[in-house]
Structure 1
Amino acid sequence: MTKMTIDELHAFLHEAFPQVAADFAVEEVGDLQIRVRMLIADRHLRPGGTVSGPSIFALADVAIYLGLLAEIGPEALAVTTNCSIDFMRKPAAATDLVAEARILKLGRVLAVGDVLIRSAGDPAPVARASLTYSIPPRR
């Protein structure tokens, strides 16, 4: 059972990270899984008209972060401790990216998850990432 709804996740993102909140839309939340869309704009593109690697990383990171928060509740100080990302193919130019993330292990101190990222409407993966998050102790 998730502890945060889509609307609560959006509100949290706008409050804690107003500088990037408008870039992301949570589309679906379920037990230990989430789907997040990155709304691609010119600032996300690199020369050649494709989405930049740092933007793809940001989507993977935000997807796992929001998936974790959906499970544990609002915790701004949960942080990435490790990330491995494979860039598999060039994303479609100026097309939104969609991340499907799963929390594979949710412990008291660490959470591990994976993310598959695709260009919207294309079944072929653009990137795959594995991330570990540190969860601060409850006060």
Structure 2
Amino acid sequence: MAAKMTGPELMDFLETVFPQVKDDFEIEEVTDMRVRVRMKIAERHLRPGGTVSGPSMFALADCAVYMAVLAMIGPEALAVTTNCSMDFMRKPAARTDLIAECRLLKLGRVLAVGDVLIYSEGGEAPVARASMTYSVPPR
């Protein structure tokens, strides 16, 4: 199955349906069943100690799976998260952008399952891992 939306099309769609987060994310790559998303870290994403907060990392993982699903099915605002399991494995580098590498493991009629590895920019080891399930609206 080939991707139906490009990175710029996904960004335009994100700006339209979620304008409150349009400045947080950048779609860096879209391929079949995969996306790479950058979170542009700002002061609002930090927790005490200058590291990126867990809720910000969750938002990145959630956005990455949402973008991967939409890349494959087309613009559908009502795709929603139904489950998430997230492991925070190491402290992200202070004030450094985060990169999410997402791949869809399953894209069915009703559910999509994705796996996300999150890295500090320039880092080799992931700082977090998420497994997410999305409900896909009827097409």
**Structure 1, unpaired ranges of 5+:** none
Shift of 1:24: 0.2
SS at match of 1:133: strand
**RMSD across aligned positions (CA):** 0.4
Where do residues 123-134 of structure 1 align in structure 2 (5 Å cutoff)?
Answer: 123-134=124-135
- Code of the residue aligned with 2:41 in structure 1: it is I
Q: Please name the residue that 1:24 is paired with.
A: 25
1:42 aligns with 2:43: yes
Q: Please name the residue that 1:90 is paired with.
A: 91
Spell out, residue by residue over 1:84-139, the C-alpha distance to the aligned partner (whole angstroms, 9 max, x if none): 0000000001000000000000000000010000000011110000000001112x
- What is the TM-score when the length of structure 2 is the normalising length? 0.98
Equivalent pairs, count: 138
Q: Please name the residue that 1:33 is paired with.
A: 34
Q: Please name the residue that 1:11 is paired with.
A: 12
User: CA–CA distance in 1 between the matches of 2:104 and 2:48?
Assistant: 33
**Structure 2, unpaired ranges of 5+:** none
User: CA–CA distance in 1 between the matches of 2:124 and 2:17?
Assistant: 32
Spell out, residue by residue over 1:39-63, the C-alpha distance to the aligned partner (whole angstroms, 9 max, x if none): 0000000001000000000000000
User: CA–CA distance in 2 between the matches of 1:123 and 1:35?
Assistant: 15
Q: Please name the residue that 1:72 is paired with.
A: 73
User: CA–CA distance in 1 between the matches of 2:134 and 2:7?
Assistant: 20
User: CA–CA distance in 2 between the matches of 1:11 and 1:26?
Assistant: 10
User: CA–CA distance in 2 between the matches of 1:123 and 1:60?
Assistant: 18
SS at match of 1:43: helix
Percent identical pairs in the alignment equals: 73
Shift of 1:21: 1.2
User: CA–CA distance in 1 between the matches of 2:44 and 2:116?
Assistant: 23
More strand by share: 1
User: CA–CA distance in 1 between the matches of 2:125 and 2:8?
Assistant: 29
Q: Please name the residue that 1:63 is paired with.
A: 64
Q: Please name the residue that 1:109 is paired with.
A: 110
- What is the TM-score when the length of structure 1 is the normalising length? 0.98
